[in-house]
């Protein structure tokens, strides 16, 4: 079994695949499906055209996160990709706020599977596996998707390497996986997948974001929030912070790089401190084979959330290398 560094060298030159079966997947159909979601989610949904994707948050009226949501406009329906374990509860929440809208909500995680493909040659190898011109994948705009046969392929920004999500009927899984591996796409470990996520600075709900998180703290303003759309749940709090508070929140999620002498990732919850005292906590960490050091995500007080700032964690030197989100 190759270690994470060996795995990374393989996928950096070629590509790797990993199942996203644990993600929740909801199908919403009906005349009002798009407008219904537009009124609930923080990003622009109403303007989506078939083949386009939006990353959003679903908030409480107090502006705290219930979930993050990836919305795929599929023409006659909308597909929602949500964090592991949240599919059934979100379907129930959506159903409870339906009144007279023509919307049918279905949890399709039991029939629709999901696979991520990531790597330096992901476009070429995925194209070969699916019988698609690699140039089409290479030129596919970020957060857009298309259908080929019985699979849906989406371009994502989940890693610094090229990355795609493939949605497929569970009944086609064996055939598709065989085609991926036949094209030279290797199975990827969850350890490497996590390292790639942290390396890209992408927070995961349930790990780096919780029901206490305001999305601005997690750096989701540009990716997940429209500042020009009409009302959505939690908008009043977000606008108040942006307009009256100048966008200042008490803490910010940052990307951290440990001193190269540190080889073991710190535990979630590890304290981050300055010479003045505690300033935050680590939320996730992993050894990054690309950076050849331990990287982490963590929240720090807004006054120290700047690239180049050095902190301490478990008596080790940690540098803030940028904001996450």
For the chain, the domains span 4-21+111-200, 250-323
Number of C-alpha atoms within 13 angstroms, CB side, residue 311? 31
What SS3 class is residue 324?
coil
Residue segments in the chain with a per-residue pLDDT below the cut of 50:
1
Q: Is the dihedral of CA 180, 168, 158, 299 positive or negative?
A: negative
DSSP at 255: E
276 Cβ contact list (under 8 Å, min separation 6)? none
Nearest-angstrom CA–CA distance, 84 and 97:
22
Q: Domain 250-323 falls in which CATH fold?
A: Elongation Factor Tu (Ef-tu); domain 3 (2.40.30)
pLDDT attached to residue 1: 47
Residue among 31, 76, 35, 69 at smallest CA distance from 53: 69
Q: Is the dihedral of CA 90, 28, 55, 232 positive or negative?
A: negative
Q: Is the dihedral of CA 235, 198, 71, 87 positive or negative?
A: negative
DSSP conformation letters of 82-133: E-TT-HHHHHHHHHHT-SS---EEEE-TTTEEEEEEESTTHHHHHHHHHT--
For residue 21, the Cα-to-chain-centroid distance in whole angstroms is 15
* Paired strand residues for 24: 82
Query: How many DSSP H helices and E strands does the chain contain?
Result: 9, 17
**At residue 17, what are phi and psi to the nearest 5 degrees?**
-125, 150
What SS3 class is residue 310?
strand
**At residue 64, what are phi and psi to the nearest 5 degrees?**
-90, 155
Q: Is the dihedral of CA 77, 83, 89, 94 positive or negative?
A: negative
Q: Are strands 15-19 and 185-187 parallel, antiparallel or unpaired?
A: parallel
pLDDT attached to residue 2: 63
Q: Domain 4-21+111-200 falls in which CATH fold?
A: Gyrase A; domain 2 (3.30.1360)
For residue 8, the surrounding DSSP H or E stretch is helix 4-13
Q: What is the pLDDT of residues 151-167, one digit of tens each?
A: 999 999 999 999 999 99
* The pair of three-digit structure tokens given for residue 183, joined into one six-digit string: 């094209």
Nearest-angstrom CA–CA distance, 246 and 177:
48
pTM: 0.95
Residue among 191, 189, 204, 17 at smallest CA distance from 119: 17
């Amino acid at each position: 079994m190759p270690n994470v560094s060996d795995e990374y060298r393989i996928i950096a030159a070629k590509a790797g695949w990993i199942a996203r079966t644990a993600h929740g997947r909801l199908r919403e159909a009906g005349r009002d499906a798009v407008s219904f979601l537009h009124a609930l989610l923080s990003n622009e949904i109403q303007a989506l055209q078939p083949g386009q994707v939006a990353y959003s948050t679903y908030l409480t009226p107090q502006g705290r996160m219930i979930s993050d949501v990836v919305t795929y406009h599929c023409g006659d329906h909308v597909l929602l990709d949500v964090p592991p374990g949240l599919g059934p509860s979100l379907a129930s929440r959506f159903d409870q706020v339906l009144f007279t809208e023509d919307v049918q909500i279905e949890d399709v995680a039991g029939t629709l599977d999901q696979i991520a493909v990531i790597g330096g040659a992901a476009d070429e190898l995925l194209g070969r596996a699916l019988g698609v011109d690699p140039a089409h994948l290479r030129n596919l705009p970020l957060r857009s998707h298309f259908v080929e046969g019985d699979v849906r392929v989406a371009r994502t920004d989940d890693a610094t390497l090229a990355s795609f999500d493939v949605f497929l009927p569970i009944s086609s899984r064996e055939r598709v996986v065989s085609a991926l591996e036949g094209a030279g796409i290797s199975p990827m470990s969850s350890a490497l997948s996590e390292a790639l996520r942290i390396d890209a600075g992408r927070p995961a709900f349930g790990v780096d974001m919780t029901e206490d998180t305001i999305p601005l703290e997690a750096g989701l303003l540009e990716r997940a929030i429209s500042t020009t759309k009409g009302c959505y749940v939690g908008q009043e709090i977000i606008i108040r912070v942006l307009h009256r508070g100048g966008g200042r929140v008490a803490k910010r999620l940052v990307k951290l790089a440990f001193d190269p002498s540190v080889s073991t990732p710190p535990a979630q919850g590890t304290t981050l401190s300055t010479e003045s005292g505690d300033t935050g906590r680590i939320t996730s960490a992993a050894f990054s084979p690309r950076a050849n050091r331990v990287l982490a995500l963590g929240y720090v007080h807004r006054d120290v959330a700047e690239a180049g700032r050095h902190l301490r964690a478990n008596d080790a030197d940690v540098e803030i290398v940028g904001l996450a989100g």
